Structure 1
Amino acid sequence: MNGTFYIIINITIMAVLIYILLYLRRKRVSFTVRVMLALICGIAFGAALQLIYGAGSQIVNSSNTWFDVIGTGYIRLLRMIVIPLIFISIVNAIISQDSKNLGKMAAQIIAILIITTAISAFVGAGVAKAFNLTSEGLVAGEKEQQAGLGLEQRLEDFQSKPIQQQLIEIIPINPFYAMTGQGSSATLSVVFFAAVVALAAIGIRKSKPEAAESFVNLINILHAIVMRMVTMVLRLTPYGVLALMTRFVSNSDFSEIARLIQFVIASYVALAIMFVIHMAILMVFGLNPISYVRKSAPVLMFAFSSRSSAGTLPLTINNQVRNLGVADGHANLAGSLGTSIGQNGCAGIYPAMLAVMIAPTVGINPMAPAFLIKLIIITALASFGIAGVGGGATFAALTVLSAMGLPVGLVGLLIAIEPLIDMGRTLLNVSGSMLAGVLSSKFMGELDTEIYNSRKIEEV
């Protein structure tokens, strides 16, 4: 039989799995259960495809191009609504917020994101040392060498633009270009422009009350429409997770993963420890971590399967408001800023682990207090300094290693296992964003604890 027949079989199996998920929805099985089931089925189906046809086979690749219609299509739908969601939600939140509290809210959210990233760096460094990870003995193949050369070039390009220039670029020359999502600082530029528009609307309340009221009404209408769009797209989450996990597992190079398995395990240990610290922080401030995990599970599972903090943003904001009782302003600002600032996994744990692995090769004791303190400070600052630059963990690692005077080639050596580690990092990043929203809302007395503590989970 030719390959087309097997591809049709694979597509049919995917269609059957989707039908099962649709059937469970009609039977009112909870959203969390359906997302979890989609995750498990995707892993099982992807593993079966690789075992039957082999990694990188034409049949698997051709099947995945069809599965991408669902998985990548879903991520594109989410990204389609990200910019409208950020702009309308930020404007709506600010015009509904006491302007005197706006600066305090933003400062608290940024502080929480930066502080948790500093803690993440300490955790990453400690776990790397506990596992005795080192870059010595890692051999670069052709792919890794090419990746390393590419990263060196990206580092040169990045260093040519000082941090002051990167911060200035957050202010958009053309806000409509920023709204296309194409600029390097698109997300933060949209947040900045939305804040300016909202403050201008607040400023005309006394001089032109009718115009201000009309604008508020327009924003309320647009906000209702955008949130309805979010709900429509979020209902597709189980099917997106199924397709994304199937593609990831079926394409994974398990031989490369096995070669670097110690680093993979150490990374997930560090990520797990930091997630537990998130839960401990909630407990310190009188919030039940079990409620947080139970209500945030679908969001975190999607973040894990999609590897996209920005793509997860609609789910992040929706979950904070509907299930965690976070005030709109805090949820929108924490979610939006969290896609670019203070990412605990990508900008905290990962670069710190690499620094500890490389340090001994250049004669530095990675556990020396001076080195650790410098590493934690640089990592925390870098998580904000590269806010407007795409590339996430890669740019964070390049920036930190360069600032510490360490070679950056190791980033290229780990290219084969990047996707696997990035799944856990993205989950932690999204958790950090939601944690910032919950805590800032709590600090300012705007957290609805009745919603947070309720056993009810609002379905989408």
Structure 2
Amino acid sequence: IIGNGYVSFLQMLVVPLIFVSLVRAFTRVEGENNLGKIGFNVLAVLIITVAVASVIGLSIALLFNLDGAEFTQGAAETARIAYIQERQAEIADTTLPQQILSFIPTNIFEDLAGLRQSSNIAVVIFSAFVGVAYLGVARKHPEEASYFKKMIDMLDAIVSRIVTLVLRMAPYGIFALMVKAMASSSFQALLNMATFVIAAYVAIIIMFAIHA
């Protein structure tokens, strides 16, 4: 409960952080001179970095000879592997225009709930629309826009506080996850997990360097 609960709390933060952070970024923009360039850069950087991260993940998996099926053989892992294989087959039959169209939100509440594979990107696009709309309102009705800006600033403060509260659980959540792994895995499985952790850190360090 403690370990999986901590992971669930982390997942809970993703969509609120994306939405509030991006909209707040627009509320801090002065003027609309470079709005199109800013919006294009946000989406382009997001898509490019996701693509780069995917290539790095695949390269590290091949370099370290990682095979997720070898780590554990539980029912949950087997079901997850089957789902990934099914998803790979679906993507293989999807054209590039169809994949691009899947990023566009048709029901933002569905994407806020994370019910689609491309929900995060859809939330980014919706957030950009909200930000652009705010700038238009700020130009014509500055008083109404100021109320919205205050609301977003308040939401940002609340979400930041929630992040702090969740991160305070990290020592307990990580400890519980480690104890569970140690108690329920064989020695060989632990060695495999150690290899995975090292590979993950290598990939993360590479991504940090790219972002820097």
Say yes or no: TM over 0.5.
Answer: yes
Matched residue of 2:151: which SS? helix
- CA–CA separation in structure 2 for the residues paired with 1:105 and 1:254: 45
Corresponding residue for 1:14?
Answer: none
1:228 to 153, 157, 161: 161
User: Counterpart in 2 of 1:92?
Assistant: 24
Output the amino acid matched with 2:177. L
Deviation string 1:46-101 (CA, Å, 9 cap, x unpaired) is: xxxxxxxxxxxxxxxxxxxxxxx211111112222221121111111232246625
Unaligned runs of 5+ in 1: 1-68, 136-140, 265-418, 440-460
1:217 match: 150
- Residues 423 and 190 of structure 1, relative CA distance in 2, 3 Å threshold: farther
Counterpart for residue 140 of structure 2: 207
The AA in structure 1 aligned to 2:134 is: A
* Post-superposition offset of 1:189: 1.4
- Partners of 2:81 and 2:107 lie apart in 1 by 34
Distance 1:116 1:155 in 2: 17
Q: Does 1:104 align with 2:44?
A: no
* Runs (5+) with no aligned partner, structure 2: 68-72
Q: Kindly, what percent of the aligned residue pairs are identical? A: 29
The CA distance in 2 between the partners of 1:423 and 1:153, in whole Å, is 26
Partner of 2:4: 72
How big is the shift at 1:119? 6.5
Q: What TM-score does the superposition give when structure 2 sets the normalisation length?
A: 0.73
C-alpha spacing 1:432/1:151, structure 2 compared with 1 (3 Å)? same
Q: Do the aligned partners of 1:113 and 1:433 also contact (CA within 8 Å) in 2?
A: no
Report the secondary structure of 1:173's partner residue.
Answer: coil
Deviation at 1:226, TM superposition (A): 0.8
Q: Does 1:253 align with 2:190?
A: no
**CA offsets, 1:84-131, max 9 Å, x none?**
121111111232246625233554565456457656766766x47xxx
Instruction: Give the drift of 1:163.
Output: 3.5
Is 2:120 the counterpart of 1:183? Answer: no
The answer for the alignment partner of 2:70 in structure 1 is none
1:244 aligns to 2:177 (yes or no): yes
Q: TM-score, normalised by structure 1?
A: 0.37
| Offset from partner CA, 1:245-274 (integer Å, 9 cap, x none) | 11122222334x49xx7xx5xxxxxxxxxx
Q: Distance in 1 between matches of 2:100 and 2:16?
A: 23
**Residues 397-432 of structure 1, C-alpha deviations (whole Å, 9 max, x = no match):** xxxxxxxxxxxxxxxxxxxxxx66554454455545
Query: More helix per residue: 1 or 2?
Result: 2
Q: In structure 2, what is the equivalent of residue 156 of structure 1?
A: 89
Mark the structure with the bigger radius of gyration: 1
Cα distance change, pair 239–84 in 1 and its aligned pair in 2 (3 A): same
Corresponding position: 1:83 with 2:35: no
Q: Which one has more relative contact order, counting CA pairs under 8 Å at least 6 apart? A: 2
Distance 2:115 2:197 in 1: 24
